């Protein structure tokens, strides 16, 4: 067949598929009943699919070994207990084989190295038994500066909705007749010992279209919640509204955040009893206060007077001068086109900045000296990932970790400008001898160079025969960085698998521009990037389509759905976790409306026109040949609706395609609340991958 005839035929096929997609989008959805999260019929369907999947995947060679070894690691006493500075103590939440739901506990810095010195504040397993609930600890807000009183967040089954109760850390008891809020998606912040800023479900009309609070109230101790005074109201079309309290040695700042979209907001500071709106770009990231300085990170270029501040820069200005009209910000950090501020935090006097350079981390410490910021690079091992773990607002102590794919995580402590010293280090949970990590670049469809990491055996023969797992995300300005994963090492690398991490557009590896390049109508760029990495792996003969599997969750689950429907020929296994898949209805399901700044609004015809080109649920067809995909989700996920995975699996099965499906009954968006659930998810996923790719 001549090329012209081939092009005509392909065009005709694409037109037919496109018409089928439009028709499918217009017809009633026959699987809407699966959106009834706890509907009897839907749960019966889930139970049947779970049983069928477990029967197959648990029978795979190595399942039990991976499950047992992963659980042993998760329960191991030699793990690092990551702490948080709160007043005179370090606080930690810990799970092990004897404490499945965990212990909230504290110790002093001096006693941190002695595991017997932890003081248990709240036993979540005991609380769950006493109250007949499957409680999941979701953190606690302490009252500055003593941190004796806390507002503890407890979730039923791991979802985002929480019950919030006042707790006394000295008596280790919930405060009788203390502050208490019923289950809702919400938050609180201490104004003082007897006053809380509260964001919760106050009744009809008090939530945004995304399901989050739109009203902040001030609640006095000893009064009913209904009498709390309204401080601020947003609109129903906003994402959320909240008020937090920031403490510095100089003063207390009461800050209101009104989220207009996922990436735009208005920030107010309460001055003289009234909210005062900060004149900063709507898409800027408000960074709080350090001493007298207000901090700001830009997502777009910003021109103020005759000066333009660059996208991605971290700025500071004296807050009192700002209130008086001064707009001469100081540029503290200005990343280039291949770098990005991954995170920043501060102690009493120090600003800590985690800076990425070509997806490699370095930690810098900044100190304000008059009108300038002095910088010191903290020396650490090369080629890895730094994470700021905790910074003490009452001193200049801080902790951070270093890790890489093959280097176990190390926790380091420093104070002021002293050389960091190691507090704890993970043992090698898997044998990395003979393994190596490399960084390559693929060229995407539009010519953009896309970095990615490969972890493999040094002596591996490049013949395309190796089972390879490619992981990706590509959204919400979240960067994918090298990390030490005992589960991946145990279940994949030491058994001969190759692991690949893609840094596609939509993420934050190179700052806001990298993210914004794949927003809304440009979403396909992220998918083109992922395809380019996959094709580059094949070109290098690291693997071949028969041995190439992919994995992603949440927005990464949408990526998996797009790969499944766009390039089923390129992959032989797909692990699709807690995914978005029905992009026609995503904005109507749970928190979906809050993500329209990322994807667009499917109810607007012009925006559905581009969303429909990749929405996996509408693009599945009986005629296509798909790999047998594995869907994994959670009944208790109240962020990304489990109906996405349910409906996709049901539709594919009805069209004659084989799928594997497992839905955990709890776990929230993490799809796991306990170590056993996480070990099961790991063992199921890797058993499926070996079954498909070996």
Closest CA to 199 of 140, 241, 246: 241
Contact (Cβ atoms closer than 8 angstroms) between residue 320 and residue 292: yes
Residue 11 has a pLDDT of 46
The catalytic residue among 210, 404, 554, 615 is: 554
CA-CA distance, 347 to 32, in Å (whole number)?
A: 50
- The whole-number average pLDDT for the span 176-196 is 98
CA distance 7 to 4: 5
Is residue 386 within 8 A of residue 57, CB to CB? The reply is no
**Per-residue pLDDT tens for 432-478?**
999 999 999 999 999 999 999 999 999 999 999 999 999 999 999 99
Residue 585, Cβ density class (10 Å: 0-12 exposed, 13-18 middle, ≥19 buried): buried
Average pLDDT value for residue range 639-656: 98
DSSP-assigned letter for residue 281: -
Tell me: the pLDDT tens digits for 379-435? 777 779 999 999 999 999 999 999 999 999 999 999 986 789 999 999 999 999 999
Angle at 51 between CA 136 and CA 131, to 5 degrees: 25
Provide mean pLDDT across the span 509-529: 98
Residue 71: phi and psi, rounded to 5, are: -65, -40
CA 585 to CA 565: how far, in whole Å? 18
Residue 677 and residue 383: Cα distance in Å, rounded?
Answer: 32
Q: Cβ atoms within 10 A of the Cβ of 305, count?
A: 7
CA distance 198 to 230: 9
Domains and CATH numbers, the chain: 46-70+432-693 (3.40.50.1820)
pLDDT of residue 18 exceeding 90, the answer is no
Among 11-15, 261-265, 512-516, the minimum mean pLDDT is found in 11-15
Q: Which residues pair with 302 in a beta bridge?
A: 309
User: What is the rounded CA–CA span in Å between residue 642 and residue 647?
Assistant: 9
For 57-85, the pLDDT digits (tens) are 999 999 999 999 999 999 999 999 999 99
Confidence grade of residue 16 (pLDDT, cut at 50, 70, 90): very low
Q: Give CA torsion, residues 445, 446, 451, 453, to 10 deg.
A: -10
Pairwise pLDDT comparison (246 vs 27), residue with the higher score: 246
The CA–CA distances, whole Å, from 342 to 333, 352, 512 equal 12, 11, 11
Q: In the predicted model, is pLDDT for residue 19 greater than 70?
A: no
Question: Is residue 615 over pLDDT 80?
Answer: yes
Q: What DSSP string describes 299-319? A: SS-EEETTEEEPTT-EEEEEH
Q: How large is the average pLDDT for residues 554-579? A: 98
Report the distance separating Cα 535 and Cα 520, nearest Å.
25
Helices (runs of H) and strands (runs of E) counted in the chain: 14, 39
Q: Which pLDDT band holds residue 26 (cuts at 50, 70, 90)?
A: low
Q: Is the pLDDT confidence value at 5 over 80?
A: no
**Cα–Cα distance list, 213 to 419, 592, 637 (Å):** 44, 15, 18
As a whole number, mean pLDDT of residues 347-352 equals 96
Does residue 641 carry a catalytic annotation? no
SS3 at position 224: coil
Q: Comparing C-alpha atoms, which of 32, 211, 38, 205 is closest to residue 587?
A: 211
Cα–Cα distance, 118 to 89 (Å, whole number)? 10
Which DSSP helix (H) or strand (E) runs through 184? strand 180-184
The candidate with the shortest Cα–Cα distance to 635, out of 621, 624, 646, is 646
d(CA 519, CA 262): 12
Give residue 493's pLDDT: 98
Closest to 73 measured CA to CA, from 452, 494, 546:
494
* Whole-angstrom Cα Rg for the chain: 26
User: Which range, 14-23, 110-119, 386-395, has the best average confidence (pLDDT)?
Assistant: 386-395
Helix (H) or strand (E) holding 562: helix 555-566
Statement: residue 356 has pLDDT above 70: yes
Return the closest-CA partner of residue 260 out of 218, 208, 333. Answer: 208
**pLDDT confidence bin for 12, thresholds 50/70/90:** very low
The per-residue pLDDT for 9 is 41
Confidence (pLDDT) at 380:
74
Is the model's pLDDT at 41 over the cut of 70? yes
6, burial (CB in 10 Å: exposed 0-12, middle 13-18, buried 19+) = exposed
* Residue percentage of the chain with pLDDT more than 70: 96
Q: Across the beta sheet with 229-233, what order do the strands follow?
A: 187-192, 195-199, 215-220, 229-233
Transcribe 526-552 into DSSP letters: HHHHHHHHHHHHHHTTS--GGGEEEEE
- The C-alpha angle 21, 44, 133, rounded to 5 degrees, equals 115
Enclosing H/E stretch for 359: none
Report the C-alpha gap between 278 and 288 in whole angstroms: 12
Contact 255, 279 (CB under 8 A): no
pLDDT at 600 over 90: yes
Reported as a pLDDT band with limits 50, 70 and 90, residue 114 is confident
Residue 505 has pLDDT above 90, yes or no: yes
Do residues 671 and 633 make contact, with C-beta atoms less than 8 angstroms apart?
yes
Report the C-alpha gap between 283 and 261 in whole angstroms: 9
- Residue 669 has a pLDDT of 95
The single-letter DSSP state of residue 494 is G
Closest CA to 339 of 354, 322, 357, 321: 357
448: left (phi over 0), alpha (psi -120 to 50) or beta: beta
At how many degrees (to 10) do helices 63-75 and 675-693 cross? 150
**C-alpha span between 498 and 516 (Å, rounded):** 30
Q: How many C-beta neighbours within 10 Å does residue 85 have?
A: 21
CA distance 135 to 584: 34
Q: What is the rounded CA–CA span in Å between residue 493 and residue 102? A: 30
Residue among 266, 404, 669, 687 flagged as catalytic = 669
- Decide: 249 and 241 in contact? Cβ < 8 Å: no
Q: Which of 11-25, 98-112, 323-337, 455-469 has the lowest mean pLDDT?
A: 11-25
Three-state SS at 5? helix
Compute the distance between CA of residue 479 and CA of residue 529 in angstroms, rounded to an integer. 15
Q: What is the distance between the alpha carbons of residues 489 and 70, in angstroms, rounded to a whole number?
A: 10
CA distances from 122 to 65, 75, 77, 93, 139 (A): 33, 19, 19, 10, 12
Name the residue among 515, 505, 523 with its Cα closest to residue 610.
523
Q: Rounded to 5 degrees, what angle do the CA atoms 515, 339, 393 make?
A: 95
- Number of other CB atoms surrounding residue 113 within 10 Å: 10
Q: Is 687 a catalytic residue?
A: no
């Amino acid at each position: 067949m001549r090329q012209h005839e081939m092009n005509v035929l392909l065009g005709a096929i694409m037109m037919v598929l496109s018409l089928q997609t439009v028709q499918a989008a217009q017809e009633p959805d026959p699987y809407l009943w699966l959106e009834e999260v706890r509907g009897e019929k839907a749960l019966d369907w889930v139970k049947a699919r779970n049983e069928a999947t477990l029967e197959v995947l648990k029978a795979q060679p190595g399942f039990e070994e991976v499950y047992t070894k992963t659980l042993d690691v998760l329960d191991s006493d030699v793990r690092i207990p990551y702490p948080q500075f709160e007043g005179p103590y370090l606080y930690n939440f810990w799970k092990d084989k004897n404490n499945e739901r965990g212990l909230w506990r504290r110790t002093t810095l001096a006693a941190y190295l002695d595991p017997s010195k932890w003081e248990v504040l709240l036993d979540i397993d005991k609380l769950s038994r006493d109250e007949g609930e499957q409680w999941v600890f979701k953190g606690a807000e302490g009252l500055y500066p003593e941190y004796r009183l806390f507002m503890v967040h407890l979730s039923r089954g791991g979802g985002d909705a929480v019950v919030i109760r006042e707790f006394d850390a000295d008596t280790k008891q919930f405060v009788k007749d203390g502050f208490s809020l019923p289950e809702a998606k919400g938050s609180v912040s201490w104004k003082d010992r007897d006053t809380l800023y509260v964001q919760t479900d106050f009744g009809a009309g008090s939530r945004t279209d995304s399901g989050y609070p739109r009203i902040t109230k001030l609640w006095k101790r000893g009064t009913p919640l209904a009498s709390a005074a309204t401080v601020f109201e947003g609109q129903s079309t906003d994402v959320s509204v909240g008020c937090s309290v920031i403490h510095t040695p100089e003063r207390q700042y009461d800050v209101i955040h009104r989220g207009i979209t996922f990436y735009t907001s208005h920030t107010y500071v309460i001055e003289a009893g009234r909210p005062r709106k900060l004149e900063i770009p709507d898409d800027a990231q408000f960074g709080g206060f350090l001493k007298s300085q207000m901090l700001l990170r830009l997502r777009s270029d910003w021109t103020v007077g005759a000066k333009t501040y660059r996208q991605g820069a971290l700025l500071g200005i004296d807050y009192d001068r700002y209130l008086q009209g001064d707009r001469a910000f100081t540029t503290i950090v200005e990343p280039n086109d291949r770098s990005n501020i991954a995170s920043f935090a501060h102690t009493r006097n120090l600003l800590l900045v985690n800076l990425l350079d070509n997806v490699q981390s370095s930690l810098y410490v900044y100190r304000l000296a008059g009108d300038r910021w002095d910088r010191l690079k903290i020396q650490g091992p090369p080629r890895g990932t730094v994470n700021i773990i905790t910074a003490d607002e009452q001193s200049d102590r801080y902790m951070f970790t270093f890790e890489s794919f093959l280097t176990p995580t190390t926790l380091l402590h420093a104070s002021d400008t002293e050389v960091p010293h190691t507090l704890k280090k993970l043992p090698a949970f898997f044998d990395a001898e003979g393994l190596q990590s490399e960084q390559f670049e693929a060229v995407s469809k539009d010519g953009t160079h896309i970095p990615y990491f490969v972890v493999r055996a040094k002596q591996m023969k490049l013949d395309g025969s190796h089972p390879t797992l490619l992981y990706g995300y590509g959204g919400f300005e979240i960067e994918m960085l090298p990390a030490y994963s005992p589960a991946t090492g145990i279940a994949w690398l030491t058994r001969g698998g190759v692991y690949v991490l893609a840094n596609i557009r939509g993420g934050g590896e190179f700052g806001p521009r990298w993210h914004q390049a794949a927003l809304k109508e440009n979403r396909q760029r992220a998918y083109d990037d992922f395809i380019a990495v996959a094709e580059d792996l094949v070109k290098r003969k690291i693997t071949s389509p028969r041995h190439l599997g992919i994995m992603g969750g949440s927005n990464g689950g949408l990526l998996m759905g797009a790969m499944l429907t766009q390039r089923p020929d390129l992959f032989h296994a797909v692990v699709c976790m807690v995914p978005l898949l029905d992009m026609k209805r995503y904005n109507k399901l749970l928190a979906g409306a809050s993500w329209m700044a990322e994807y667009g609004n499917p109810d607007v015809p012009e925006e559905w026109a581009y969303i429909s080109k990749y929405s996996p649920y509408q693009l599945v067809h009986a005629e296509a040949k798909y790999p047998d995909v594995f869907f994994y989700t959670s009944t208790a996920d109240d962020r990304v609706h489990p109906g996405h995975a349910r409906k996709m699996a049901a539709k594919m099965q009805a069209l004659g395609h084989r799928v594997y499906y497992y839905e955990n009954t709890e776990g929230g968006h993490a799809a796991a609340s306990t170590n056993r659930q996480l070990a099961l998810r790991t063992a199921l996923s890797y058993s499926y991958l070996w079954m498909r790719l070996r």
